[in-house]
Amino acid sequence: MGFKTLINSKKTLALFAAFSLLGTNMLMAQQQAAVAQGNSTPTPPDSMANSAMWTGVAYYVLIFLVGCFCIAILGKILKVYDLTQKMQGKKGINWNGVMGIVCMVFLVVGMYGAYWSLTVQGSMTLPEAASAHGGAIDDMFALTAVLTLIVFVLTQCLLFGFAFFYRGSDKRKAYFLPHNNTIEKVWTIIPAVVLTILVVFGFFTWQKVTDSTEVKGDMNIEVTGHQFAWELRYPGRDGKLGKINYTLTTALNKLGIDYKDRNSFDDLQADTLVLPVYKSIRINIRSQDVIHSVYLPYFRVQLNAVPGLPTFFKFVPTITTAEMRRKTDNPNFEYLLYCNKICGGIHYNMQKVVRVVSQAEYQDWIAKQKPYLTDPLKKELKLAEVKSTNPAKVAANRLALNN
């Protein structure tokens, strides 16, 4: 029986050797092709970068297989040794002992891995929240992380500790435990209580964070997503964003702004999402094609942009870009607005710079932004006709436009 498996493992060995050779051949062929093309430029073309990536994947797959193979060979050797010992009438290997020790080693190495991951990857988390509500979200994350960490350490130590300390032995017999009501109650009630606390805490935090009812003094900014960019619209002097009607969308009126609504006349377009610090910002979110997601990680803000369903998020930025540059010790730091829904091919590039500035800097900046109502658009909408029918209102609008 032992010999049969050995023969089988020879077959496996042959298969593995063939696979390794194929991999090496592929790698060498790629290198030769690259040399033949005289490809000595520092930036390889896409196909090269792709093949390099696949070579990398094949390399790790091979390493993994070699590892598995070594373990299998070691197991085989131990098995042969064990059988020989038994044939000679000796005791053989104590497999229960081996498995117990392996469990203990796994626990120690695994715990070290968890610690490494917490310290190395944990240090890559975002810095302090740059919005008023951000702290509450961070507290929720921290509480969940601490509770799950305690449960993780306890359960893993119990699981592998038991496997080690109570490993099979000739000296004792396993105790058969068919059912125990107390244990059932303990491991049902404790998780239920902890999860209820987490859910209720999360529910109240989310309710507070997402109260986006418009209040006097809120600054409304419109963020519209489309494949693959964000469009920004700021209200003019009146502080009000004009209405939108998607059926009015044209090449010039790309947001479909309804110019029957007088509030639309002074609306401004911008390239950067500039926000005055300590001001209540109400982001009005729209989408023109597929579902996008407004994601401002430093402000702990994220909400989907759904076509046909305007959504809102209100937050107060508390740290200016200049302050954050000092805090992160990075003179080039910029807050970014990302899209957090995989919305198509160029999704990864759907981002806009967000700048948090003082009130005075904001006033300077907003004064320089261009209105959405451009001269060609005025011509398209034949706004001159309005002028003749209602001179008083147009005069007021012109005032707004001049601002």
| Residue span binding Cu ion (CB under 5 A) among the ranges 34-42, 109-117, 273-281, 289-297 | 289-297
Smaller CB separation from Cu ion, 129 or 305: 305
Q: Are 252 and 333 in contact (CB under 8 A)?
A: no
| Residue span binding Cu ion (CB under 5 A) among the ranges 185-193, 330-338, 349-357, 361-369 | 349-357
Token pair recorded at residue 36: 């033949």
The residue among 244, 264, 272 whose CA lies nearest residue 373 is 264
Smaller CB separation from Cu ion, 99 or 306: 306
- For tokens 């597929």, the residue is 290
* Nearest approach, Cβ of residue 288 and Cu ion (Å): 11
Contacting Cu ion within 132-171 (CB under 5 A):
none
Smaller CB separation from Cu ion, 222 or 266: 222
Q: List Cα–Cα distances, 234 to 224, 263, 276, 386, in angstroms.
A: 12, 11, 13, 24
* Nearest approach, Cβ of residue 332 and Cu ion (Å): 25
Span between the terminal Cα atoms of the chain, in Å: 92
* Nearest approach, Cβ of residue 129 and Cu ion (Å): 24
* Nearest approach, Cβ of residue 303 and Cu ion (Å): 13
Phi/psi of residue 390, each to 5°?
-140, 75
Q: Does 223 bind Cu ion (CB under 5 A)?
A: no
Among 129, 140, 268, 343, indicate the residue that binds Cu ion (CB under 5 A). Answer: 343
Distance CA 35, CA 26 (A): 14
Among 292, 300, 314, 352, indicate the residue that binds Cu ion (CB under 5 A). Answer: 292
Among 277, 281, 303, 350, indicate the residue that binds Cu ion (CB under 5 A). Answer: 350
* Nearest approach, Cβ of residue 345 and Cu ion (Å): 11
Q: Does 339 bind Cu ion (CB under 5 A)?
A: yes
The residue among 361, 353, 212, 338 whose CA lies nearest residue 277 is 361
| Residue span binding Cu ion (CB under 5 A) among the ranges 232-240, 263-271, 284-292, 320-328 | 284-292
| DSSP, residue by residue, 180-236 | -HHHHHHHHHHHHHHHHHHHHHHHHHHHHHT-----TTPEEEEEEEETTEEEEEE--
* Nearest approach, Cβ of residue 293 and Cu ion (Å): 7
Query: CB under 8 Å to 52, separation ≥6 — which residues?
Result: 44
Smaller CB separation from Cu ion, 292 or 314: 292
| Residue span binding Cu ion (CB under 5 A) among the ranges 61-69, 95-103, 334-342, 392-400 | 334-342
Q: Does 285 bind Cu ion (CB under 5 A)?
A: no
Distance CA 220, CA 334 (A): 22
Q: Are 219 and 279 in contact (CB under 8 A)?
A: yes
- For tokens 């001001």, the residue is 279
Residue ranges in contact with Cu ion by CB under 5 A: 292, 339, 343, 350
